[in-house]
Amino acid sequence: MALSIKRLDAKAEIYGFLSEDRLYAAYAICDLEPIPFRQCEWHASSRNGRLTALGLCFRGLPPDRVFLMGPTEELVPILGGALKAAKAHFACRPQHLRTLRRFYSLRTVEVMQRMFLRPEEFNPAQGMVERLGPRHVHLLQDLYRWYGDVAFAPYQLDQGVFYGVHEAGRLVATAGTHLVSRTYRLGIVGNVFTHPDYRGRGFATVCTSAVVEELISQSLDVVLNVGQTNEAASRVYQRLGFQVYCPFIEALGIRREAE
């Protein structure tokens, strides 16, 4: 049966495919929520009416975020024609890299680990933290400037969960969520950062713990990403009870004909 390509708009059809590997597809599933969904473009390969591969382009953060799922050969027509972001930050399986390089010049490639937490294995950390909200947006932006490359946008405070630690009236550490979907019961921990002058005091751990505790209280499945070589962060997450689900790739790509 010949392969066909189509653009998707029906959430039920999209979720039906993504749910086949729910934890790997967690970010994409959260993008089915009403606000991010408006900034998404979904394309799929199908055979005999059955979806076989999917590409998502989220345009809510610069550069575009592209997620790939499915057999490598089924993604070729999606990357080759249907989904043609000029510059994008990709999330894909390691086996997708060879095909991705056919269409994109990759400037950075990092092996990541998707981690998840079973509620019964949560080991909370104790410490003084404050729940952060929209009125703290400027404090968070000032703190994240020390990091330089963080996927934070003010709308995440409205929809997500953030906690922070203050010292002498200054926000010095935080953890939050990239995305939360109460429809699909997922919470994605991220935006974890401590000011360089305050590291080594466990602030990131207690902030992350507070975020996780609130997400669990809402009956959400909790996942996060960590670089494979970031052993210090991995140890923090493992102490809280997280375990590795799968490796994946994050890569910044420039479309070859756009170079």
> What average pLDDT does the segment 20-31 reach?
98
Model confidence pLDDT, tens digit, residues 80-120: 989 999 999 999 999 999 999 999 999 999 999 999 999 99
Cβ contact 162:177 at 8 Å: yes
Residues 6+ apart with CB under 8 A from 61: 151, 153
Helices (H), the chain: 11-18, 26-30, 34-37, 72-77, 97-103, 137-144, 155-159, 203-217, 231-240
Please state which architecture CATH assigns to domain 119-240.
3-Layer(aba) Sandwich (3.40)
3-state DSSP assignment of residue 163? strand
pLDDT category, 143, cuts 50, 70, 90? very high
The amino acid present at 89, given as its one-letter code, is: H
Place of tokens 């360089």: 196
- Residue limits of CATH 3.40.630.30 in the chain: 4-113+249-258, 119-240
The pLDDT value given to residue 148: 67
Nearest to 224 by CA among 184, 190, 179, 175: 190
The pLDDT value given to residue 155: 80
pLDDT category, 131, cuts 50, 70, 90? very high
From the CB of residue 108, how many other CB atoms can be counted at a distance below 10 Å?
A: 9
Model confidence pLDDT, tens digit, residues 148-207: 666 677 888 888 999 999 998 899 999 999 999 999 999 999 999 999 999 999 999 999
**What's the mean pLDDT when you consider all of the chain?**
94
Look at phi and psi of residue 44 and say left if phi exceeds 0, alpha if psi is from -120 to 50, else beta: beta
> In the CATH scheme, what is the homologous superfamily, with its name and number, of domain 4-113+249-258?
Gcn5-related N-acetyltransferase (GNAT) (3.40.630.30)
Partners of 221 in beta bridges: 186
Partners of 177 in beta bridges: 189
Q: In what order do the strands lie in the sheet with 221-227?
A: 4-8, 40-47, 50-58, 64-69, 87-92, 243-255, 104-117, 221-227, 186-194, 170-181, 162-167, 130-132
Partners of 176 in beta bridges: 190
The pLDDT value given to residue 1: 65
